[in-house]
A = this chain, B = another copy of it.
Amino acid sequence: MSNPAYERLVQRHLRMHRLGHLQSIAAWDQSAFMPPKGNDARAAALAEVGGLLHEMGTAPELKTWLDEAAAEPLSDFERDSLREMRRAWDARNALPPSLVEAISLATSHCEHAWRTQRPANDWSGFLPNLKEVVRLQREMASRLSEAQGLSKYDALLDRYEPGMRSADIDRVFGDLRQWLPSLIQRVMVKQSTEAVLRPEGPFPKSAQRELGLAAMQLMGFDFEAGRLDESAHPFCGGVPEDVRMTTRYREDDCLPALMGVIHETGHGRYEQNLPREWLGLPVAEARSMGIHESQSLSFEMQLGSHPGFARQLAPLLQRHLGAQPAFEADNLHQLLTRVKPGYIRVDADEVTYPAHVILRYEIERALIEGEIECEDIPALWHAKMTELLGLSTEGNYTNGCMQDVHWSAGLFGYFPCYTLGAMYAAQWFATMRREMPDLDDRIARGDLIPVFDWLKAKVWSQGSRRSTPELVQRASGEPLNPAHFRAHLEARYL
Contacts and interface: CB of A to CB of B under 8 A. Distances in A.
Interface string A22-38: 11011001000111111
Given A48-B19, A49-B19, A29 B37 contact: no
Interface stretch (A79-87, A107-115, A223-231): A223-231
Interface in A32-61: 33-38, 40-42, 44-49, 52
A368 interface: no
A21 B41 contact: yes
Copy number in the complex reads 2
Contacts of A33: 227
A49 B35 contact: no
Given A18-B48, A21-B42, A22-B23, A35 B226 contact: yes
State the main secondary structure of chain A at its contact with B.
helix
Interface string A1-33: 000000000000001001101110110010001
Interface in A221-271: 222-227, 239, 241-242
B18 A241 contact: no
A387 B33 CA distance: 50
A15 B52 CA distance: 10
Contact of A242 (B35, B48, B226): B35
Contacts of A44: 18, 21
Contacts of A18: 41, 44-45, 47-49
Contacts of A48: 15, 18-19
B42 A242 contact: yes
B26 A242 contact: no
B227 A37 contact: no
Contacts of A21: 26, 41-42, 44-45
B239 A35 contact: no
A42 B25 CA distance: 10
A37 B224 contact: yes
Contacts of A23: 22
Nearest to A45: B21
A26 B19 CA distance: 11
Contacts of A38: 225, 239, 241-242
17 contacts: A19-B52, A22-B22, A22-B23, A22-B45, A25-B25, A25-B26, A25-B29, A25-B42, A33-B227, A34-B242, A35-B226, A35-B227, A37-B222, A37-B225, A40-B241, A41-B239, A41-B241
